[in-house]
Amino acid sequence: MQLPALGHLFILTILAYLIGSLPTAVWTGKWWRGLDVREHGSGNAGATNAMRVLGPRVGLVVLLIDALKGVAAVALASIVHAYFTSPGWYVVFQILLGAMAILGHVLPVFASFKGGKGIATLLGVVFILFPEAFLICLVVFLAVFLSTRYVSLGSLAAAIALPIVVIWVKDVTLLPKVIFAISIALFVPITHRNNIKRLIQGKENRISFKR
């Protein structure tokens, strides 16, 4: 990697965070209903709570935009692709940009650092890094979600399935990708620990498709 690129890498890293910081659910809620979704439902500024508070159609729009934040952040790496002589280090930078976008979603500078769990933005990152595995995990998510109407349970199942698909089904051997896939399987349950408790207690909220 060429030394002059370090300044560019820093700028892109900050830009990835700012992209992730765009509080889609908060802005959509204020524009659509004149309310802050963080003051309703689960109090989370993510797509699931937006779906619950603003309705399924609006929630899906929020989900799509939040996922695109992850896609856009990782895509920034292509600007400095020529600086990387090793595929592994390029992937590491892609993951860094994706992680910064997720951090921005969780701690958005444009919404008093009170955001969502980062799952939708993580979807966009996974889509770019593991497109085929993403589709398989999407099927896993939909199968669990549509049969239970628990978004949290579907997210947990898809996250745990990701490293299995990446390592044993798609036979990915690039170490940064393998580590990232395993990290996701650990990260998502941690962010969903309250959901897991409610699932065990039978108190988790289901998504309604009636609105």
Query: At residue 17, does pLDDT exceed 90?
Result: yes
pLDDT confidence bin for 210, thresholds 50/70/90: low
pLDDT tens, position by position, 183-193 = 999 999 998 99
List all residues 6 or more positions away from 60 whose beta carbon is below 8 Å from its beta carbon.
47, 51
Q: Is residue 211 part of a domain?
A: no
Range of the domain at 163: 130-206
The verdict on 23 and 45 lying in the same domain is yes
Q: What percent of the chain has pLDDT over 70?
A: 97
- Comparing C-alpha atoms, which of 141, 99, 121, 111 is closest to residue 43? 111
In 3D, which of 194, 1, 28 has the Cα closest to residue 96? 1
pTM: 0.91
Domain boundary, last residue among 121, 139, 167: 121
| 86 and 140 co-located in one domain | no
Question: Domain check: are 22 and 57 in the same one?
Answer: yes
| 75, 100, 121 - which closes a domain | 121
| Overall number of domains in the chain | 2
Judgement on whether residues 115 and 135 belong to the same structural domain of the protein? no
Distance in angstroms (rounded) separating the CA atoms of residues 166 and 164: 6
Mean pLDDT of 55-83: 94
Among the listed residues 119, 124, 100, the one whose alpha carbon sits nearest the alpha carbon of residue 15: 100
Q: 1 vs 201, which has greater pLDDT? A: 201
Residue range 100-152, pLDDT digits in tens = 999 999 999 999 999 999 999 999 999 999 999 999 999 999 999 999 999 99
Q: Determine the pLDDT at residue 166.
A: 96
Sign of the CA dihedral with 186 first, then 63, 139, and 99 last: negative
Q: Return d(Cα 187, Cα 98) in angstroms, integer.
A: 14
Query: Residue 133 is which amino acid?
Result: A
- The model's confidence at residue 41, banded by pLDDT at 50, 70 and 90, is confident
